[in-house]
């Protein structure tokens, strides 16, 4: 048997021979708990006040046992769930050293005193989630896959598999108040001193947290990390306990028993205050599929392109893709617009998030706009994150691209600081069970005095923490992303919004993964004293960081709105230039370089696949397009070649501007992307990532 352990942060897999020392009955504890009131607490491995269960009530329940020469009748040290004839899903902390010897999986039997040799299956490999590190003050990513040496014959035994929530909405399922079934052979005494039962126990418990909540009992948000759920009947004292670790929390999905959680930890057992905590299975579907290949053929773990299609048009006598939210009028200062996204323009009704291009037109004064998931309807203007998506000056026409999680009823909210017209286009969406995973926008870097970030983690230069203040010209700043704002330590990439504030000269900023050479491309461009922002998908570098380079002294802000988990099919790239119209400037491979200023009303086809690391199988790309010094106000539209140009804009520019915007764009036949410009202008286009079919 081998145990495969993920190297934390870098997401590398290291396969090592299993060292199997002395057996322990209770699974070891993964980390120490924190609490919201700083009260001392003791974490137990996580049924109290349950009843005897038969195997047909939970045929997916398995036990991890160490035979240690004892044969049938050996006590389990953890539980697990059979998710296929060859795979078991359990908790990562069950395999923290010292690992019990001579491991087996017991299946198809509810009574430990009624087992036979054929009920035990050898283990071929243990694959611990790469983000698990039980030495940290965290229990995040407490999930593991066990591959069996031989498949269990579910037709000839009492065992059966449990469904996984491939098609459930990960921001809605399972909801608060949903009833879950927990099973296991763990301790039946809240004090943890009883003899573990020979008969499988079961209990019905309510789920106490929705997928968007990160607080329950005395557990802090950083402890739960957004990838876990809480469940227990606190009034009746029904809870999981020692020895139940790794076991299932199963609930209903369309009338089918479906695995919602993996038993992880708790503060005591059934203490009336702190419920049991479970790893949320929907968070890990992409990783499970990457390791096992179990996902259905029609499941996608990736963004799906759509449009671009207009969802909101505030200006009179203009329309949207379906006539909804058209001509709604100028938004008042300090107001919130609720944008219906789900169920429009090809976006699934149960979509999790969307890539949007938001344009502010002719604001009355300098200000900002924030795009975020609606938490209620109507949405109070004061209930919004402390971040900005677009910064604008009086009279501007300025756009920015953002990935945002869909909120209540599939809506996103747009807050405007000053009165302005608003346009919203959709370019893609994340279907149920997919990635990236949207979060509440959070500020990771803020250099201005008197302003705050989501936490106190400092940025660094050359590994040395820096204090507040403007970033000197030519400096590269390292920003820690992984492990903050609910982003897991093994995240592969993040969708960020970068803002440059009142630079001392005209220049540019580039975002790239730390540890890589800075690419010859830009993420955003700015003029002196401007406040400019742009959104981008950025691959995470060494230690889960991104690097920010600015060639002029300026204040800089970085907000994060989503992340790409380890194992996701979405691939971030080192930014690479694919199109450069200016003579003497280069692209990554010399193709489409120096092609000359684009004429007004013209279209150019850009080959994307087969260049800069984008494979021929890619069906969509994440790009950054820059318009350079047009003589007239205008716009650029990106769209898949082979279709009629849509009535939408990717980027708006004013006379003399150097302005950029990010976009998620479907590719046309042959992996080509089409670019239309309204006015004569120089254009540069960089690719930052791609998505498969």
The candidate with the shortest Cα–Cα distance to 7, out of 137, 132, 125, 127, is: 132
Place of tokens 């979405």: 570
Is 45 assigned a catalytic role? no
Q: Is 371 left (phi over 0), alpha (psi -120 to 50) or beta?
A: beta
Q: Which residues of 391-418 are buried (b: 16+ CB within 10 A; e: fewer)?
A: bbeeebbbbbbbbbbbbbebbbbbbbbb
Phi, psi of 284 (to 5 degrees): -110, 15
Cis amide bond preceding 217, omega within 30: no
First to last CA, the chain: 35
Bridge partners (DSSP) of residue 562 are 438, 495
Burial of 693 per CB tally in 10 Å (0-12, 13-18, 19+): exposed
Angle (CA) 390-396-402 rounded to 5° is 25
Contacts of 354 (CB under 8 A, 6+ apart): 341, 347, 403, 404, 406, 412, 426, 428, 429, 430
Is residue 53 a contact partner of residue 103, using CB atoms and an 8 Å limit? no
Active site residue 93: yes
Q: How far apart are CA 328 and CA 315, in angstroms?
A: 7
Catalytic residue, candidates 81, 107, 245, 522: 245
Strand segments (E) across 565-601: 571-580
**Catalytically annotated residue among 93, 129, 417, 678:** 93
Instruction: Give whole-number Cα distances, 518 to 436, 503, 506, 514, 524, in Å.
Output: 25, 20, 19, 9, 14
Q: Are 97 and 21 in contact (CB under 8 A)?
A: yes
Rounded distance, CA 559 to CA 249, Å? 35
Distance (Å, whole) CA 672 – CA 682: 20
Determine the Cα angle at 542 with ends 537 and 547, to 5°: 50
What tokens does 557 get? 């802000």
CB-based burial label for 595 (10 Å; 0-12, 13-18, 19+): middle
Has 81 been annotated as catalytic? no
| CA–CA separation, 151 and 82 (whole Å) | 11
Q: Which of 119, 142, 187, 340 is catalytic?
A: 142
Question: What are the catalytic residues?
Answer: 93, 142, 245
């Amino acid at each position: 048997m081998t145990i495969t352990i993920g190297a934390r942060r870098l997401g590398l897999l290291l396969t090592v021979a299993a060292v199997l020392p002395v057996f322990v009955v209770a699974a070891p504890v993964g980390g120490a708990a924190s609490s919201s009131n700083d009260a001392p607490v003791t974490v137990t491995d996580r049924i109290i006040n349950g009843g005897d269960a038969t195997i047909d009530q939970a045929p997916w329940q398995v036990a991890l046992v160490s035979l240690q020469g004892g044969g049938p009748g050996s006590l389990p040290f953890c539980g697990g769930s059979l998710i296929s004839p060859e795979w078991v899903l359990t908790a990562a902390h069950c395999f923290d050293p010292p690992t019990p010897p001579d491991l087996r999986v017991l299946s198809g039997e509810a009574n430990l005193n009624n087992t036979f040799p054929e009920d035990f299956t050898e283990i071929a490999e243990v694959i611990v989630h790469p983000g698990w590190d039980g030495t940290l003050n965290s229990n995040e990513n407490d999930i593991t896959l066990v591959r069996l040496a031989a498949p269990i014959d579910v037709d000839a035994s009492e065992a059966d598999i449990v469904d996984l929530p491939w098609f459930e909405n990960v921001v809605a399922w399972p909801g608060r108040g949903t009833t879950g079934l927990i099973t296991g052979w763990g301790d039946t005494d809240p004090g943890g001193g009883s003899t573990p039962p020979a008969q499988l126990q079961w209990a019905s418990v309510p789920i106490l947290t929705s997928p968007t909540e990160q607080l329950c009992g005395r557990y802090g948000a950083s402890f739960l990390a957004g990838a876990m759920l809480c469940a227990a009947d606190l009034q009746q004292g029904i809870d999981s306990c020692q020895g139940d670790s790794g076991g299932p929390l199963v609930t209903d999905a369309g009338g089918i028993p479906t695995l919602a959680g993996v038993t992880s930890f708790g503060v005591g057992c059934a203490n009336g205050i702190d419920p049991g905590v479970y790893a949320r299975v929907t968070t890990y579907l992409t990783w499970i599929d990457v390791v096992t290949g179990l996902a259905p053929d029609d499941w996608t773990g990736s963004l799906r392109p759509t449009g671009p299609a207009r969802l909101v048009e505030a200006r009179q006598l203009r329309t949207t893709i379906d006539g909804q939210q058209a001509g709604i009028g100028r938004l008042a200062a300090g107001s919130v617009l609720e944008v219906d996204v789900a169920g429009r323009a090809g976006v699934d009704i149960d979509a999790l998030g969307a890539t949007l291009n938001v344009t502010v037109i002719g604001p009355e004064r300098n200000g900002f706009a924030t795009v975020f998931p609606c938490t209620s309807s109507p949405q109070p203007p004061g209930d919004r994150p402390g971040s900005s998506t677009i910064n604008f000056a009086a009279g501007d026409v300025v756009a920015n691209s953002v990935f945002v999680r869909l909120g209540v009823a599939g809506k996103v909210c747009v807050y405007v600081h000053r009165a302005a017209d608003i346009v919203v286009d959709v370019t893609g969406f994340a279907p149920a069970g997919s990635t990236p995973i949207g979060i509440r926008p959070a500020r990771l870097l803020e250099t201005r005095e008197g302003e705050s970030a989501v936490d106190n983690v400092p940025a660094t230069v050359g590994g040395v923490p820096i204090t507040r203040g403007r970033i000197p010209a030519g400096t590269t700043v390292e920003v820690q992303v992984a492990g903050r704002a609910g982003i897991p330590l093994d995240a592969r990439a993040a969708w960020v919004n970068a803002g440059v504030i009142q630079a001392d000269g005209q220049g540019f900023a580039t975002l790239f993964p730390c540890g890589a050479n800075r690419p010859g491309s830009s993420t955003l461009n700015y003029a002196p004293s401007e406040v400019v922002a742009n959104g981008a998908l950025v691959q995470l570098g060494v230690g889960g960081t991104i690097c920010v380079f600015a060639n002029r002294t300026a204040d800089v802000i970085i907000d994060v709105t989503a992340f790409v988990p380890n194992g996701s099919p979405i691939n971030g790239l080192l930014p690479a230039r694919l199109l450069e119209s200016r003579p003497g400037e280069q692209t990554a491979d010399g193709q489409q370089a120096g092609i000359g200023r684009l004429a007004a009303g013209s279209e150019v086809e850009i080959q994307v696949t087969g260049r800069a690391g984008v494979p021929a199988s890619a069906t969509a790309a994440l790009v950054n397009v820059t318009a350079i010094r047009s003589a007239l106000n205008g716009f650029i539209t990106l769209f898949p070649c082979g279709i009629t140009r849509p009535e939408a804009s990717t980027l708006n520019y004013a006379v003399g501007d150097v302005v950029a915007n990010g976009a998620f764009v479907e590719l046309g036949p042959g992996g080509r992307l089409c670019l239309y410009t309204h006015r004569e202008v120089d254009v540069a286009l960089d690719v930052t990532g791609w998505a498969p079919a």
